[in-house]
Amino acid sequence: MNDFKIKRSDLEEIFRNIRYVIPSYQRPYVWKEEQITTLLDDLIDFFDNEIKNENSDNQYFLGSIILCKVGDFSDKYYILDGQQRLITLYLIWLCMLDLIWKKYRENKDLLEKISGTFPHLVFPFFGLNRRYIPKISFETRSGIGIMLSDLIKASYNGKIDELLDSKEFKRTIKNDETKKSILHAINCIRDYISSHISNNGKDSIFNQPTLLGEFINNFYKSKIVFAKIETDTISDAYNLFNIINNRGVKLSNSDILKTVNLQHIALKEQNPYLEDYAKEWENIENSFRINDKKQKVDFDIFLELIRAIYIKKSGSKSLFAWFEEDIFKLKNTSDKKPLIKPGVEFINKLSTLFDVYKNDIDITSISNQNDIKYINTLKIMSRYIPDTQWISPVLMFNDKFSDQLSKDVSLKTKFILKFENYYTYYWITSMTRSRIFTKLADILNLIEKSNTVQEVLDSDIWTRDFNAKMLEDKLKEDIYTQRFNNYILHRCEKILCDEQSLTETQDKITIEHILPQKMEGDWFEIFSAEKHKELMHKIGNLTLITKKNNSKISNKSINEKLNTIDTMYKDFLITKNLINFIKQQNNESNLISDNGNHQYQWNEDLINKRGEQIIKLIIDDYKQEP
């Protein structure tokens, strides 16, 4: 790291005649009401304590602000850390000036006191000069700089209300989340000031010209301090940020990767499309945030899936360390080339893989050009396999062979069926996660070295370790207590659907025990406590039903329960198959009651027979060549 300068700087120095630039790779303004009001509370409380202790030399420390000069400009800096706090203080300042103009513009004592401290302060009656208001701009969001300039002009004329109510202002913020966040911050600050006046009356510093003047004159000017750190290069500033940052919103792995990639574009390639690449990254990241409650895959996980494509091994490194050291080779002193270059090359690849993911893997947006079996398989894997590491080979396969697959989508179906068998066999037979990853790495290596889809499909890797007896023994255990319980029942449903789409429902799908977990009534006449414990979680005793119906039938008698399922709740083929099996086994023509309902039987023999049928159905599906 090169030399850097560090000094304690008060707010007057931070604000004075400086142009700050928020780099394209930094996150936008994101502070919410809680953070803004906490800062205001701290400032007011500190000021109140200082007023009571006139000779105090205490200062309010607001952490570090890390800066890097822009080119040869003496007054223009990139801000790498502290932008959230700086922008918030900036907006507080503008709101106070707006308040002064509206409420105290006739109070000459206050105005003279403030102008004495700030000789170049901008007021209409003092001859205007904006030396004490920094200019803040966003490298890839030019409209925000214009918005802040408009706010400065409005605050010095008491016209913030007028600006915020204008049609033009509302139009410009409509589709910009950063502008909306800044507007929200202004409203939070103004609401805070109004509430402080309402709650404290004449004791509020915002309601006393003398106190307000003191607050601005001595406190806001010199009592608020930063540790200002100046560096010569962005990389030094970024390294310092990683070392000392401990305030505000902590950067995620994806934030840091964004920084590194856009930094390479900005500084090394001088690419005129820097803003486009920054927006592309943000669009991809935001698409994961929109559905983050519905999906297991967030943006960091997506980047981890990409990481596995390039580095086919597991380990304890952070995601960023994998990219920095092993993929981009940024810390490697050897002559080895990066697996992919950071910057334009990586962001282009990220965009390509994102399109593949949305069209061919993400079940919320998957293309209907894919085969039904392909879509059904992805649905049950996505929904009922807790882990996400299995996605990497599917992502790599669809990306590498996109041209071949576009000509014959059935090849995708053959791959996903082979891959499902391969992955779930190891998962169901209790292989550890790390060992499963080594098996996935074998598939990633197979895809990497293969020139055609057919080479991948023809490999003996798919069935090399398969042991039908081991899988069968696992399926004979208490399925309900296994982590794969939902997956295996939905796989049975998928097999029965064949070329039909899986049943979709807005209701949660649950596993229903035919022999209930808690027996009542006539169940005790058929099953002893010992048999109940032995059989209730077996696969032959389980089916699928929607949750809203589960509570209506869970503890009914045998006939009530099965008649209700038969007449009302056969949402799934596995459940229809259950009823047909029972009718066939019970010889339904001889088991009709006076009221027309079937007289069903459900016993140990039927549970075992149905279990054998389901297990055979599943094993045969594993053995079948797609």
Backbone angles phi, psi at 510, to 5 degrees: -125, 165
- CA–CA gap between residue 368 and residue 359 (Å, rounded): 9
CB 295 within 8 A of CB 365: no
Q: Which residue has the higher pLDDT, 503 or 126?
A: 503
Q: Which residue has the higher pLDDT, 438 or 291?
A: 438
Total Cβ atoms within 10 A of residue 388: 17
Backbone angles phi, psi at 226, to 5 degrees: -120, 160
112: its two tokens: 């003279």
- 298-302, 436-440, 559-563, range with the lowest pLDDT: 559-563
pLDDT mean over 282-287:
89
Average per-residue pLDDT in the chain?
84
- CA–CA gap between residue 15 and residue 89 (Å, rounded): 10
Is the C-alpha dihedral spanning 471, 474, 480, 481 positive or negative?
negative
pLDDT band at 308 (very low <50, low <70, confident <90, very high): very high
Strand partners, 230: 5, 67
Residue 389: per-residue pLDDT = 95
pLDDT mean over 349-371:
95
Residue 444: per-residue pLDDT = 98
Angle, CA 321 vertex, CA 389 and CA 78 arms, to 5°: 120
Q: 410 pLDDT exceeds 90?
A: yes
Is the C-alpha dihedral spanning 558, 564, 566, 571 positive or negative?
negative
438: its two tokens: 């080594």
pLDDT band at 569 (very low <50, low <70, confident <90, very high): confident
306: its two tokens: 């990409």
Q: 596 pLDDT exceeds 60?
A: no
313-359 pLDDT per residue, tens: 887 788 888 998 899 987 765 667 899 999 999 999 999 999 999 99
Residue 413: per-residue pLDDT = 97
- CA–CA gap between residue 119 and residue 117 (Å, rounded): 6
Closest CA to 232 of 274, 267, 278, 269: 267
Angle, CA 488 vertex, CA 487 and CA 489 arms, to 5°: 95
Residue 396: per-residue pLDDT = 98
401: its two tokens: 């062979």
pLDDT mean over 177-193:
91
Residue 476: per-residue pLDDT = 97
- CA–CA gap between residue 65 and residue 22 (Å, rounded): 12
- CA–CA gap between residue 344 and residue 272 (Å, rounded): 11
Q: Which residue has the higher pLDDT, 269 or 553?
A: 553
pLDDT band at 549 (very low <50, low <70, confident <90, very high): low
Closest CA to 4 of 53, 50, 68, 51: 68
- 226-230, 413-417, 546-550, range with the lowest pLDDT: 546-550
Strand 76-81 versus strand 19-22 pairing type? parallel
Residue 597: per-residue pLDDT = 60
CB 185 within 8 A of CB 36: yes
405: its two tokens: 């697959």
- CA–CA gap between residue 341 and residue 218 (Å, rounded): 51
Closest CA to 492 of 508, 483, 506, 503: 503
Residue 129: per-residue pLDDT = 43
Angle, CA 218 vertex, CA 216 and CA 220 arms, to 5°: 45
Q: 393 pLDDT exceeds 80?
A: yes
Please list, residue by residue across 108-131, b when 16 or more beta carbons sit within 10 angstroms of its beta carbon and e when fewer do: eebbebbeebbeebbbeebeeeee
Total Cβ atoms within 10 A of residue 258: 24
- CA–CA gap between residue 142 and residue 494 (Å, rounded): 52
Residue 248: per-residue pLDDT = 41
pLDDT band at 612 (very low <50, low <70, confident <90, very high): very high
Q: Name, in order, each residue with C-beta under 8 angstroms of 63's C-beta and a sequence gap of 6 or more.
A: 82, 85, 226, 227, 246, 247
pLDDT band at 175 (very low <50, low <70, confident <90, very high): confident
Strand partners, 76: 19
Q: 623 pLDDT exceeds 80?
A: yes
Q: 390 pLDDT exceeds 60?
A: yes
Cα-based distances in Å from 308 to 281, 326, 442: 20, 11, 12
- Return the domain boundaries, the chain: 4-245, 249-464, 479-624
| Residues above pLDDT 90, as percent of the chain | 41
- CA–CA gap between residue 615 and residue 201 (Å, rounded): 76
pLDDT band at 240 (very low <50, low <70, confident <90, very high): low
SS3 content of the chain, % helix, strand, coil (to 5): 60, 10, 30
pLDDT mean over 159-168:
88
CA 281 distance to own-chain centroid? 14
490: its two tokens: 């939905």
- DSSP code string of 253-281: HHHHHHHHHHHHIIIII--TTHHHHHHHH
417-466 pLDDT per residue, tens: 999 999 999 999 999 988 999 999 999 999 999 999 999 999 999 999 99
Highest mean pLDDT pick, 109-113, 123-127, 515-519: 515-519
Using DSSP, state whether 138 is helix, strand or coil: strand
Q: 592 pLDDT exceeds 90?
A: no
Q: Residue 581: in which H helix or E strand, if any?
A: helix 573-586
44-97 pLDDT per residue, tens: 888 887 766 665 677 888 888 888 877 777 778 888 788 899 899 889 988 888
Number of H helices, E strands in the chain: 30, 8
136-147 pLDDT per residue, tens: 877 666 578 788
Residue 554: per-residue pLDDT = 66
* Helices marked H in 141-233: 142-155, 160-165, 167-173, 177-200, 209-214, 221-222
Q: 527 pLDDT exceeds 80?
A: yes
CB 20 within 8 A of CB 139: no
- CA–CA gap between residue 104 and residue 547 (Å, rounded): 63
pLDDT band at 126 (very low <50, low <70, confident <90, very high): very low
Using DSSP, state whether 301 is helix, strand or coil: helix
Residue 400: per-residue pLDDT = 98
Q: Which residue has the higher pLDDT, 85 or 213?
A: 85
Highest mean pLDDT pick, 233-237, 377-381, 434-438: 377-381
Residue 426: per-residue pLDDT = 97
CB 208 within 8 A of CB 202: yes
Residue 276: per-residue pLDDT = 85
CB 515 within 8 A of CB 535: yes
